[in-house]
Structure formats: C-alpha cells, structure tokens
Amino acid sequence: MNPNEFWNQAFGRSGLEPHYDDWLDKYKEELDRCSGRTILDLGCGIGNNAKYLTERGHKVLCCDQSEVALEKLRAFVPEAETKRLNMLEGLSFADGSFPLVIADLSLHYFDEADTFRIVRDIHRVLEEGGLLLCRLNSIRSLPVYTGYYIEVGGLMRRYFDREQVDYYFGNDLWEKMTCLEYPMDRYFKGKIVWEVPAKKRG
Ligand SMILES: C[S@@+](CC[C@H](N)C(=O)[O-])C[C@H]1O[C@@H](n2cnc3c(N)ncnc32)[C@H](O)[C@@H]1O
C-alpha cells in the first residue's frame, strides 16, 4: 500500500473527530503575533491543530496529501482553508509566505534526503525569523532500537533521539529553541514525541 492509500484508509474510519492537546498553549505569544496572517499546518490530518487554531481566532491553511483527511477536516473545521499537497513534491508557495509553520507528527515519514529537502523547503516558505513548530516520533517509543528509519505498522517511519533532532534542526538554517521529549496519549499508550520549535535563521 502506498502512503497516500495508507492515510486515506486510516482517516476513512468512522467515528474520527478532531481533538487537540495543549501543546500549542506555550506558543500563545508567537501565535498571537501572527494575528491576521495565515499559519501553515503541514500534514494536518483531520484538523486537530486547525480546530485549536480557529477556535482562538487564527487563520490557518491546512495541507495534506490525503483527500479523505481534508474532506473530514472541512466538515469539522469549516473556517480553515485547505489545500491538497504532497510535501515530497515541494511546497507550492512563494518564499517567505508564512510567519509560522506547524508540522505535527508529519515530518517523520521520509528518508534522510527527503527529510532534509522538506525541512529546507519549510525554511524557504517561512519569512525571516519565522517559526517552525513540529513534533516528531521519539526513538524511546520503540521497545527495542532497530534503526532510525524503519517500517512500523505498514509504513516507513523515522524515530529521533536528541542527536537526530540536532542533525536535522541544529544547523545553519535553524535556531533551535528548547526542545522537549514527552509521552503523548493520542494514538496509543507509550508513544513518546519530541517537540521542536525552530526559528528560521537569516
Ligand atoms: C500522524 S498524522 C498527523 C496529523 C496531524 N498533524 C495531527 O497531528 O493530528 C500524519 C499526517 O501526515 C500526512 N502526510 C504524510 N506524508 C505526507 C506527505 N508526503 N505530504 C503531505 N502530507 C503527508 C498524513 O496524510 C497524515 O495526515
């Protein structure tokens, strides 16, 4: 099954509804600074973050490769703008288009070259000093270490330790702010994620 089919099937299940946790609360100041501007939500799924953002009056453009996810998102969060987009094909936005990009659990499906390419593209579409807020699988979610990029549950997934977070986000493109590692109960017990806020360097 290709990744798009995987996600269409996953989001095609009945009874799914967007629910959010409070991870964006700590970025209230940064979000409020975007007032009137559009925030980009990459790999938005059915709109957990879109719901959070629109309920607080923010404008959001939600992008995903899965048309099933976007259809559900539009039903649940009609205030959000949507666009079907495959990050592997490049972000079809002008340089410096957004003050803030969110990529919540959506950047850890790619091999090393594609991950760097996508992260560089996010850097390009952010304005000077713009902020990327992302969450990524932690390697500590795995019962045993079998590699950083492995197949789990029918999909290739990347797992990060601190060195890997630094490898992708601690370079000359990004000023990495404090990153956090914590358990999250959205999907299944035992999932551990990294939260990485990174500011675009000039
Ligand atoms: C685990 S879900 C996270 C959804 C949402 N961000 C959230 O936190 O609720 C991963 C999302 O990334 C999207 N995705 C994966 N690969 C993608 C790609 N190449 N281009 C665009 N979206 C992609 C999937 O369709 C899915 O919606």
Kindly list the averaged pLDDT for each block of 10 residues, start to end, along the chain of length 202.
92 95 96 96 98 98 98 98 98 98 98 98 97 97 90 95 94 90 79 96 84
| Domain with 40 in it | 3-200
Ligand 1 touching residue 48 (CB < 6 A):
yes
Q: What is the pLDDT of residue 188?
A: 61
For the chain, the straight-line distance linking the first and the last C-alpha, in angstroms and rounded, comes to 40
- What is the DSSP pairing of strand 59-64 with strand 38-42? parallel
pLDDT at res. 144: 87
- For residue 184, the SS3 value is strand
Tokens encoding 68: 């099933």
How many domains are there within the chain? 1
Report the atom number in ligand 1 closest to the C-alpha of 87: 20
What is residue 186's predicted lDDT score, i.e. its pLDDT? 72
DSSP string, 106-140: -SSSS-HHHHHHHHHHHHHHEEEEEEEEEEEEBGG
Looking at residue 189, its pLDDT comes to 66
Does residue 143 sit in helix, strand or coil? coil
- 9 three-state secondary structure: helix
Q: What is the pLDDT of residue 146?
A: 86
Q: How far apart are CA 66 and CA 84, in angstroms?
A: 7
CATH number for the domain including 81? 3.40.50.150
Plot region of 120 (φ>0 → left; ψ -120 to 50 → alpha; else → beta): alpha
Q: Are 199 and 131 in contact (CB under 8 A)?
A: yes
- Report the DSSP pairing between strands 38-42 and 98-104: parallel
Any ligand 1 atom below 6 A from CB of 195: no
Q: Are strands 98-104 and 149-152 parallel, antiparallel or unpaired?
A: unpaired
Is the CB of 50 within 6 Å of ligand 1? no
In the structure encoding, which two tokens stand for residue 153, read together?
């549950």
Q: What's the pLDDT at 43?
A: 98
Query: Residue 166: helix, strand or coil by DSSP?
Result: helix
Ligand 1 within 6 A of 88 CB?
A: yes
Query: Across the chain, how many H-helices and E-strands are there?
Result: 6, 10
Please check whether residue 150 is in contact with residue 159, taking contact to mean a CB–CB distance below 8 angstroms: yes
